[in-house]
Amino acid sequence: MSWFRKLTDGLKKSSSKMTESLSGLFTSKKIDADSLEDLEEALIASDMGPHVAAAIARELAAVKFDGEADADKWRLALAEILQQKLTPLEKPLTVSSDHRPHVILLVGVNGSGKTTTCGKLARKFQDEGKSVMLAAGDTFRAAASEQLQGWGLRTDTPVISGEAGGDAAALAYRAMQQAHEAGTDVLIIDTAGRLQNRTELMEELAKIHRVIGKFDDSAPHDSIIVLDGTVGQNAIAQTKAFAEVASLTGMIITKLDGSAKGGIIVALGDDFGLPVHMVGVGEGVDDLESFGARDYAAALVGIEADDLPQNTDAEDKEA
């Protein structure tokens, strides 16, 4: 099942889906103030935040149509606005063979889905013919290392782990050595969840990041924040703080198979412009998909992705 399907299914099942709140909104050629407010609210209900929602609503209100406007045209126009905003964030996670190992560091607050994503990523790269190693950098939480080992078993991937309560940075360094010696293509390092206002824990993460760079000054090659798709506006504070200590290069959004709509992606794109490498759409090892701006915009507004233009023109612009 495509992630777009899963997302749409999720949205369909949720009680206050945007699709519903939007239908019946757009009937006239000009959007009246009430409709605009309703639209803004629907966008807010997807976690876009009131300011971004207002900006998008204004943008939509400024759209002019040749000939008669109808609900479908308005909806399409909205989806296109979103698509345009999100297309620059599309950047599937790829590893080059320039570095061996290519090091991926996963960071984020507690319970966001880091460990699960480690397992899913291991499977993804193996499917691409790469050799993978996992490092259990969460030495803090009870049974965190066992959890990652579970994923190692499931995906048949070696897991480097240390003692509970041990030094995470030292473990990361050791994992880099071992991956290097074994000629492993990809090393994925899990870290303990931490709230971004806990300075001592953020310092520990900065140290992990530093130590990785000591072994190979180009590493980590990807430093990715794993965000829970149900998160609200705090995601912005999270991304800001993690970017500071771990020089983020991208994001992965999990749990988009639920009733949350992940509108925070739009707000984050506005603020940080970090690519959304992947989205998590379930607990299974294969429930990880590349982020597609077109699919997401369509699912959020409740139209078929086919109705939207391919993203090619956006890429042309960049080139």
Say which entry of Mg ion, other proteins, ligand GTP, none residue 281 contacts (CB below 5 to 8 A, set by partner kind). ligand GTP
- Stretch 138-197 residues interacting with Mg ion (CB under 5 A): 138
Q: Can residue 8 be called a binding residue for ligand GTP (CB under 6 A)?
A: no
Task: Tell me whether residue 220 or residue 280 sits nearer to ligand GTP (CB atom).
Answer: 280
115 lies in the binding site for Mg ion (CB under 5 A) = yes
115 or 238: whose CB is closer to Mg ion?
115
Q: Which residues form the interface with other proteins (CB under 8 A)?
A: 9-10, 13-16, 41, 44-47, 49-50, 109-113, 116, 140-144, 146-147, 149-151, 154, 195-198, 228, 230-235, 237-238, 255, 257-261, 263-264, 283
Two tokens, residue 91: 């950047």
Q: How far apart are the first and last CA of the chain?
A: 32
Rounded Cα–Cα distance for residues 269 and 273 (Å): 5
d(CA 258, CA 167): 35
- Pick the closest to residue 109 from 4, 281, 246 (CA basis): 246
Dist. CA 80–CA 95, nearest whole Å: 30
User: Shortest approach of ligand GTP to residue 257 CB, angstroms?
Assistant: 5
List, in sequence order, the alpha helices (H) in 28-127.
33-44, 50-61, 71-86, 114-127
Selected from 255, 261, 277, 294, the binder of ligand GTP by CB under 6 A is 255
List the beta bridge partners of residue 180: none
Contact pattern from residue 245 through residue 274 relative to Mg ion, giving x for each residue in contact according to CB under 5 A and a dash for the rest: ------------------------------
60's contact among ligand GTP, Mg ion, other proteins, none, with CB below 5 to 8 A by partner kind, is: none
Q: How far apart are CA 132 and CA 217, in angstroms?
A: 20
Phi, psi of 261 (to 5 degrees): -105, -10
Residues that bind ligand GTP (CB under 6 A): 108, 110-116, 138, 141, 144, 193, 254-255, 257, 280-283, 287
